[in-house]
Structures are given as C-alpha cells and as structure tokens.
A and B are shown apart, each in its own frame.
Chain A
Amino acid sequence: MDIANYIYLSALLFTIGAIGVVVRRNAIVVFMCVELMLNAANLAFVTFSRVHGNLSGQVASFFTMVVAACEVVVGLAIIVTIYRSRRSASVDDASLLKR
C-alpha cells in the first residue's frame, strides 16, 4: 500500500470540491462540493491515522462528520428558505449583503 496514492486521491477530491464551490452557481451543488472537500479531508485524516498507528485521525474524522451533519441541517434550511422566498437557488442572486 503506497501512502502517496491516498494523499493524491484526497488532494484530487479536495480540488474538485474547491473548483465546484467557485464555479457552480446552484446552492445545492455548491453545498455538495463543500461536503466533498470535507470528506477529502476525512480521507487524509484516516490515512494518516493508519500510517501513525494511533486513533487520533479517526476521532478527528468523526468530529468532522458531526460538524458536517450540523452544517447540512442549518445550510439546507437556509437554502430552502431562500428558495421559497426568491424562487431561485443561485448563490449569485443572494447578494444583498454587498456594500
């Protein structure tokens, strides 16, 4: 098992997620991309946990999942509310806070 492969995969997933956040307008897709980035980080945590032979990385990834779950609850609620009031899920339309 080459450790580098896991890291490459993690970096690839993170990059795809980051590019998705920056280029996509649909809030749901942006949201999913954020989840992808979080899980890429989780993959790296778990990998290093195995490499170092202790459980710290595993615990960290659990924390990440808990936080991600909370974030999904709040984030989806916001997206649904915005969609209801504005009939749009585009993040570019929700730009009232400028200036």
Chain B
Amino acid sequence: MTTSTNLVYLIALPLFSAAALLLLGRIADKWGHIFATLISATVFVIGAIEFFAMQGRTGESRAATQKIFEWISVGTLHVDASLLLDQLSICFVLLISGVGTLIHIYSIAYMSHDHDRRRFFAYLNLFIAAMLLLVLGDSYLNLYVGWEGVGLASYLLIGFWNQKPAYATAAKKAFVANRVGDVGLSLAIMIAFTQFGTVTFAGVKESASGASAGALTAIGAMLLLAAAGKSAQFPLQSWLGDAMAGPTPVSALIHAATMVTAGVYLITRSNFIFDASPMAQLMVVCVGAITLLFGALIGTAKDDIKKALAASTMSQIGYMILATGLGPIGYAFAIMHLLTHGFFKAGMFLGAGSVMHGMNDEVNMRRYGAIGKVMPITAATFGLGYLAILGVPPFAGFYSKDKIIETAFNAGGIKGILLGGATLLGAAITAFYMTRVIVLTFTGTKRWDENAHPHESPFLMWAPMAVLAVGSVASGFLLSSGSALVNWLQPVVNEHHEHHTEEFLPPMVVSVMALVVVAIGVAFAILKYRTVPVVAPQEVSVFTKAARKDLYQDSFNEAVFMRPGQKLTAGLVTTDYKVIDGLVRMVGWVIQTSSTALRAIQNGYVRSYALIMVLGVLALVTAVWLVTL
C-alpha cells in the first residue's frame, strides 16, 4: 500500500465547484459551465497522473490510500474517512472523469438555451464528486455516502425540468426505487458489522473466509438488492425508463455510463463475499439473466428513442451482473463490458440527444427517418456505437460481450447451457432492437413534423461524440489485447489463471454463434421495418403490447406493493384515529360527562349551598365523634 495525498482532490474539487456554483447564484451564470467543465477535466488529469503513477509501481504497492480524517469512533466501531485507489477504482475514476468531461463539454452546447444551465452544471459536478467517493471509499460506509450522493444527484437531474409534473414524478419514482435498494445496502453493512466487527473492504475480506455460510449469503443477497436498485436490475428496474425525463446528457452520463453501473462495482468490490457463497452467486446470475432478457424485450417495442436506449442499458447491465455472478473470471469481463459499454452507450445517448436537438426535442422515432443524410456525423458516431453494442469484430462489444457469453457457457452443466442460451438470445434481441433504432432514425423515408428542420449539431456536441465513437471502436481491443484488463484487475478479484480445464465451447465457436444470431436479429429488423407507420399500430401481438408497457412491471408494482401499501397506511391512520386518539378522547369525555352531572348542584340558590354546608359540618362532626369514640 502506498500513501497518496492527491486522492482527496478528486472528490474535493468537483464538490467545491458544485457548492460554489449553487451558492454564487446568478453571478456565476456567465462562466459557471466553463468552470465546471475545467474542474471535471482537472479531475481527469489528476486521475490520469495517478494511473501512470500506479503503472510505475508494482505488486502490493500499486494500490494507494489516503486517510482524510477519523470519522466515527464509537465503542468497537471505528471508521475512517479514507480513500482507496486500487486497480479497480482507477478504471472507474478514469471512466467517470473522462466520459464526465466529454459530457460536460457536450452539455455546454446542448443546454445553451436553458436559463438554468449553471444549476445543471453544479449538479453534474455534484454527481462526479459523489460517484468518485462511491468508487474511492475504502469501506462500505464511505461507499454508502457516495451511493446516497449519486442517488441525490440522479434525482436532482432527472427532475431538472421539474416544472413538468410528469418529470418530477419520474424523479421521485427513481428516488423511491433507489431507496428500496439502499435499504439492502444498509442492511448488508449492519450484518457485516455484527458478524465481522468492521466495515472496511480489507477487514471484511479478511474475516469473510471464516464466516458462516448463512451470514455470507445474507450479506450477498442484501448487496444484490442494493445493486438491483442502483443498476435498474430485476425486480427494481422500473425507474430507469422514466428516468429518461432528465436532459439527454444526464441520461448518457448517469443512466448509461456511470451511476447505473455502480451495482456492478459493488458486486465486484465484494467479490470475496460472493466467491464464498455459491447461493448468493446463483441469485446474482439469475437476476442478471432475467434482466438482460427483460430489458432487451422492452427495447424491441419502445418508440421513444431514449427509452429504447434505456431498455438497452438495462439489458447490457444485466450482462455485467450475470458476469459478476460467474466467479473470479467473470469480474474482469464484467468490468471490461462496463468500460466498453460506458463508451458506446454514452456515445449513442449523445447521438440521440443530437438528433433530438435538431428535431425540436422530438423523441418519437416514428417521426424520424432519413436523418442520416442531414446529420452525417451523428449518424456515423451512432453507427459505430451500434456496431460496438452488436459485438461485430473488431469493435469494442465483440471483445467484452463475447467473453461474457463464452464464460456463461463455460459455467458448466445445465446452468452453463441455460445462461449461455440466455446471453445468446439476448444478443439476438439486442441486434434486433438496435437495428430497429437505426432503421427508424437514420434511414428510410422522412416522417418529420412540418416544423422540423434537422441540421448537424455544433462542434462542441459532435466532438465528444466522435471521441466516444473512437472509444467504441478501440477500447475493446486495447483492454483485451494480451488480457490487459484481466491481468490488471487480478490482485483485486483474485483470479488465479488456473485455466478452466474443460471448455464447453471453444471461443471461436461462441463468436461465430454470436455473429450468426446477431445477423439473424439484424435481418429480421430490416425486413420488419421496411415501412414504418407514423402512428404506432394498435393491432399488435400480446408480446408487443406487454413490451410497450415495460412487461407490466409498473402494474405489478402498483398491484402488489403500492395498493396494499396504501391500504396498510390507511389502516394505520384509522387505528391511530380510533384507538390512540380514542383513548385520549375518552378521558376528556369522562371528565366532561361527570362534570355535567356535578354541575346540577351549582343551582345558584344560597339556601341549598347553606344546607350543604350544614350537612358537611354535621358529617365532619359525626366523623370526628366516631373516631374519638
């Protein structure tokens, strides 16, 4: 372990910038966006310096730590606010600050007509700070602070245009769904503390080997719940589609490239827990497999370009979660897919934003068509991202997604076949819905609104898209050549190169199979969408109807959780009114009734008062007499 003094600036700088932009108010309107972008770029530079410094160190000393201050010291609980920059965190630091900076630049142009642009950039910097704290914290509690921070930033940014009630509702929905996951994380932390007496990653890792299987499975399940909430995995995925209410750069940064991948980070970071609990691993792969198909199916029916991409994000993160459940070898591939996905999905979201920018914020793909001719750069960058997500060699997705499919098949036995089949089916559906997006948006005939005059976006917008497109092309090859990423992450995820003795399928066969199913998906989409009606047809199969409704997840949540929840609260309110308040009211009633009865003696007649006095004196005298007798 090396001690570093620079790590704190990674978080402090954007946090300071966010606070400054929010507190200065209108004064900062003129330069706020440039300031925020420069801060983000500075963070990236610091991250890059740290990365090269890490390259210069070897073995144990690669990871760097910095203790900022002693945070909690109560009884046996000692938590320092410490940062840990190891081989895993640096990947995230570079992704967050790199993609983050590109999206800052893009937003300068995209948000130029918004009078609240300064506030937007303040929130973006707040997000960067929180996300970096999430990946740099050296204990679950530090991570938790960042975890809540990104939830807050996500809420603020989804509801950025909260003057529209639907957008404000979407923000609340995202926040509530995230809270459900957060409960899982806090429970996991509590179980870890009671079992191990520590909440640092290193401490838990040390104690995990001797822990009971039940405790590990419980922690794993709770961590999985947390990951499902943050990463929009089954059964907490319903918020991601609505989260597209936020400005498109937000969707690109938070809801595609970085924040929603926090669940993958959490599981990878907690590899020592999942590796020790096959039960928890099984839950992880199930959630991943269900979500990757779930998201892909939803993606096939969405006409809103951003919602189609959101469904795709859900599905791709399903791939990553599935990979993390496949044991040591899976973690590196999950992180690799996360990084390549960060490039191509952020690029495609920015492309969608660019199209919307030119089409008066129209999101319905049925009103697009033939945009490739007027927006060639957008079409080209989007197209490269498309090839990357399909996994066409030599684009990025080919290296990352095929590895996941291959690892899934190699899981062995019936489990391997099921998981491999799911990932392969997912790849085919992915090819179908992504081709659908491309066909509906960039090719075919014009179905534009009369007022639409699409034009290529300004330089500040297409430059980040171009950079991300280069990443979509090259990142896969760079990360996997010579198993670069796998070797790099080896100290964190304990992968021991004990190469799997029996391979179910050779890599070549898997790649060919993947390409064949992708080709089928593409061909099917091209055939199906030769003509596109402007209004979505209503006479469609039950599957399309279900996919349009997000496979009824919202209805399910409403029927199973929301309505009974409302009934429960209504019941509690009635109980409170009738029982608790009833007791209080009864005391008042008794006093009132008895005093009404006693009031009869207060009749105003002096003689009756006198009589009562006489009787009272007689009673007293009698009592005294009886006592002294």
- Interface residues, chain A, CB within 8 Å of chain B? 18, 21-23, 25, 30, 91-92, 94-99
Contact = CB atoms under 8 A, between A and B. Distances in A.
Nearest to A18: B614
Given A22-B610, A30-B607, A96-B604, 7 more contacts: A21-B610, A22-B607, A22-B611, A22-B614, A91-B606, A95-B603, A99-B604
A97 B602 CA distance: 9
A94 B614 CA distance: 21
A96 B603 CA distance: 9
A91 B606 CA distance: 7
B604 A21 contact: no
A94 B604 CA distance: 8
B30 interface: no
Q: Which of A94, A96, A97, A98 lies at the interface centre, i.e. has the most chain B CB atoms within 10 A of its CB?
A: A98
Nearest to A25: B607
Contacts of A99: 599, 602, 604
B605 interface: yes
A97 B599 CA distance: 12
A92 B611 CA distance: 14
Contacts of A18: 614
A18 B614 CA distance: 8
Contacts of A97: 604
B563 to A, nearest CB: 54
Nearest to B615: A22
Contacts of B605: 91-92, 95, 98
27 contacts: A18-B614, A21-B607, A21-B610, A21-B614, A22-B607, A22-B610, A22-B611, A22-B614, A25-B607, A30-B606, A30-B607, A91-B605, A91-B606, A91-B607, A92-B605, A92-B607, A94-B606, A95-B603, A95-B604, A95-B605, A95-B606, A96-B604, A98-B604, A98-B605, A99-B599, A99-B602, A99-B604
Interface in B590-629: 599, 602-607, 610-611, 614
4 smallest CB-CB distances across A and B, nearest first, come from A98-B604, A95-B604, A91-B606, A22-B611
B559 to A, nearest CB: 59
Contacts, number: 32
Nearest to B599: A99
A95 B600 CA distance: 14
Nearest to B603: A98
Interface of B: 599, 602-607, 610-611, 614
Contacts of A25: 607
Contacts of B607: 21-23, 25, 30, 91-92
Contacts of B606: 30, 91-92, 94-95
A10 B254 CA distance: 103
A15 to B, nearest CB: 10
A81 B604 CA distance: 19
A99 B595 CA distance: 12
A23 B610 CA distance: 10
Nearest to A98: B604
A15 B542 CA distance: 103
Contacts of B599: 99
A18 B607 CA distance: 10
Contacts of B602: 98-99
Contacts of A92: 605-607
B605 to A, nearest CB: 5
Nearest to B611: A22
A21 B606 CA distance: 9
A39 to B, nearest CB: 18
Contacts of A22: 607, 610-611, 614
Nearest to B612: A22
A99 B600 CA distance: 8
A91 to B, nearest CB: 5
A96 B602 CA distance: 11
A21 B612 CA distance: 12
Contacts of A94: 606
A22 B607 CA distance: 5
A75 to B, nearest CB: 12
Nearest to B606: A91
Nearest to A91: B606
B346 to A, nearest CB: 81
Contacts of A95: 603-606
B617 to A, nearest CB: 9
Nearest to A33: B610
Q: Which of A18, A22, A91, A94 lies at the interface centre, i.e. has the most chain B CB atoms within 10 A of its CB?
A: A22
A94 B606 CA distance: 8
B54 to A, nearest CB: 90
A58 B483 CA distance: 123
B619 to A, nearest CB: 14
B620 to A, nearest CB: 14
A97 B609 CA distance: 12
A95 B608 CA distance: 11
A98 B599 CA distance: 9
A99 B604 CA distance: 7
A40 to B, nearest CB: 14
B13 to A, nearest CB: 77
Contacts of A30: 606-607
A30 B606 CA distance: 10
Contacts of B604: 95-99
A21 B610 CA distance: 7
A21 B604 CA distance: 15
B469 to A, nearest CB: 91
Contacts of A23: 607
B303 to A, nearest CB: 77
Contacts of B610: 21-22
A64 B366 CA distance: 110
Contacts of B603: 95, 98
A85 to B, nearest CB: 17
Q: Which of B605, B606, B614 lies at the interface centre, i.e. has the most chain A CB atoms within 10 A of its CB?
A: B606
Contacts of B611: 22
B151 to A, nearest CB: 64
Nearest to A97: B604
A32 to B, nearest CB: 14
Nearest to B601: A98
A92 B605 CA distance: 6
A94 to B, nearest CB: 7
A36 B465 CA distance: 115
A18 B610 CA distance: 9
Nearest to A22: B611
Nearest to B602: A98
